[in-house]
Chains A and B, each alone.
Chain A
Amino acid sequence: MGFHTTSQVEEIFGVRLLFKVANILRKDTFIALFAVAFLSGCASQQADLQTSEPEDDLFASTEDAATTEEANDPLETFNRFVFAFNEAADTLIIRPAAEGYRFIVPEPIQNNIRNFIRNTQSPVILANNLLQGDLEAAENTFTRFFLNTIVGLGGIIDIAGEHTGHEYRDEDFGQTLATWGVGEGPYLVLPILGPSNARDGVGLIADILIDPLTYTVNDDVLLGRAIVDGLDTRARNIESLDALKEDSLDYYARIRSVYGQLRENQIRNVDSATEKDTPDLGNIFPEDDDQLSYLEE
């Protein structure tokens, strides 16, 4: 019975298949990338056109604004389906695994794991810093990578963040596209990966293509990194997501809102606010409603 080799077992679970597909996709990804970027650009332009239409019915347009303003979700039916699937996967596998991870792995080790993973992502962050023209952030990322790799024992200790004030700041290609003026496009819920949108979906693929490890390291290692990274993030959010879910009437809509705001803040770097350098808070708080929608009777 020689055919139960490791690679066949993996074949059964479809893991290798997934990576084969990814490899085939790679060739055409650049074309796909620009196609989707173009499409999402069109979508956002169209949205602009829609909002700037002259209003002959003032009431109707305010009503629309109240609901469509924040929810750019033309694929809602499909998204809700994927969301339900993800929820099931989370309840059955991901959340229990994250709880197990948190229970078994001591907190300092968890932090070492996160530091290490973040350090391996530095080249991607650096590339995006540069693509955004943010030299200050690029210097920060480079210093972190240099210090943490050499002094921080290959990245498991965040020396730069703890001692020299070079704190971790995430950047990805979705954010880079945003700084280039690409609109977010329609909201998307990706299987397992969760909330996204057309722009950030493209960003995910681009980040894989930018990453030097994609071309140098075994696919299994990359998959392992993605899984541990996801598990670690999930483990750090068990309570907050539970609370959010418990408090929601429509959990799907709530997550959609949180995702939109989170990305908006990441793009404006609200998350990296320090005492010296307060970010542009932009429209962090929603505009007050029009007088019309408050009108009594």
Chain B
Amino acid sequence: MKKFMITVVALLTLGATTVFASDKADQAGAFLQNLRDEAVEKVKDDSLSPDERSEEFKALIARNFDIEDTARFVVGRFWRKADKQERSDFTELFQNILVQRFLPVFEEYAEAEFKVVESKKRKDYFIVTTTILTPNGEPANLFWRVDPKGEDSFRIKDVAPEGISMRSTYREDYTSALKSLKGDMTEFNAKLREKLNKS
């Protein structure tokens, strides 16, 4: 009888945890779907001026994207050598770069069909696979790394269109650029700023 009880308890816990785990993964998928809907709404809101729209989009990214961690990651070892001011300047600039880079993408794909295909746990985060129908009718895969944040919220850490990770790509670019500037983060920030203002 005791054995039986242990089995029942074990099975129940096992069942509960798997349900919980897949539940959490589904939530990660739902989180992305909601975020996409919200972003599209912002993009299509004609009452906003381009500047206001860009501000709204920036706020949306700040809320849902782990900017600080990503900023730290993409400059690799150079983060440690930078001082406080350089770090916060870079983080701010990097956020603007993300807005400048992804707002047009969102605008272009606002009407495209977006679907969450799968969401699964890996280590301490979730990989959410989504597909989007490109304007020429070909489906493209977008993979997202979504980290849990607190009890029932999430933060995006990385996105990989067709498996090309944004974090990896920026990191290789920025560490290489920093290397050729001999690690001078102030000058590096100046270059980024110049780039942002040009376009």
Residue-by-residue, is A240-257 near B (CB-CB < 8 Å gives 1, otherwise 0)?
A: 000100111111111011
A107 to B188, CA, bound (A): 42
* Minimum CB distance partner of A292 in chain B: B80
A250-B176 CB under 8 A given contacts A278-B129, A289-B76 = yes
CB distance from B192 to the nearest CB of A (A): 7
A63 to B141, CA, bound (A): 33
Interface 9-mer from A37-45, A66-74, A129-137, A221-229: A66-74
CB distance from B107 to the nearest CB of A (A): 13
- A271 close to B163 (CB less than 8 A): yes
- B136 close to A107 (CB less than 8 A): yes
A67-B97 CB under 8 A given contacts A261-B169, A286-B168 = no
Q: What chain A residues lie within 8 Å of B76 (beta carbons)? A: 66-67, 289, 293
**Interface residues in B153-199 (C-beta closer than 8 Å to A):** 157-158, 160, 162-165, 167-169, 171-177, 179-180, 188, 191-192, 195, 199
- A270 close to B163 (CB less than 8 A): yes
CB distance from B45 to the nearest CB of A (A): 24
Q: What chain B residues lie within 8 Å of A270 (beta carbons)? A: 141, 162-163
A293-B165 CB under 8 A given contacts A66-B175, A243-B101, A250-B180 = no
Question: Is B143 interfacial (CB 8 A cutoff)?
Answer: yes
Tell me which of A246, A281, A284 contacts B199 (CB under 8 A). Answer: A246
Interface footprint category on B: 35 or more
A249-B165 CB under 8 A given contacts A275-B117, A293-B76 = no
A255 to B122, CA, bound (A): 28
- A253 close to B176 (CB less than 8 A): yes
- A281 close to B143 (CB less than 8 A): yes
CB distance from A283 to the nearest CB of B (A): 9
- A293 close to B80 (CB less than 8 A): yes
- B160 close to A284 (CB less than 8 A): yes
A210 to B122, CA, bound (A): 40
Q: What chain B residues lie within 8 Å of A265 (beta carbons)? A: 162-164
A257 to B188, CA, bound (A): 20
**Interface residues in A251-297 (C-beta closer than 8 Å to B):** 251-254, 256-258, 261-262, 264-265, 270-271, 273, 275, 278, 281, 284-286, 288-289, 293-295
A243 to B105, CA, bound (A): 10
CB distance from B90 to the nearest CB of A (A): 12
- B118 close to A249 (CB less than 8 A): no
CB distance from B84 to the nearest CB of A (A): 9
A residues neighboring B (CB under 8 Å): 62-63, 66-67, 70-71, 107, 243, 246-254, 256-258, 261-262, 264-265, 270-271, 273, 275, 278, 281, 284-286, 288-289, 293-295
18 additional A-B pairs beyond A249-B192, A253-B176, A261-B163, beta carbons within 8 Å, are A66-B175, A70-B168, A71-B176, A243-B104, A247-B97, A249-B188, A250-B177, A252-B176, A257-B172, A261-B165, A261-B168, A271-B163, A284-B163, A285-B127, A285-B168, A286-B171, A289-B72, A293-B80
7 pairs, A vs B, C-beta closer than 8 Å: A62-B77, A253-B176, A257-B169, A284-B165, A285-B143, A286-B73, A286-B158
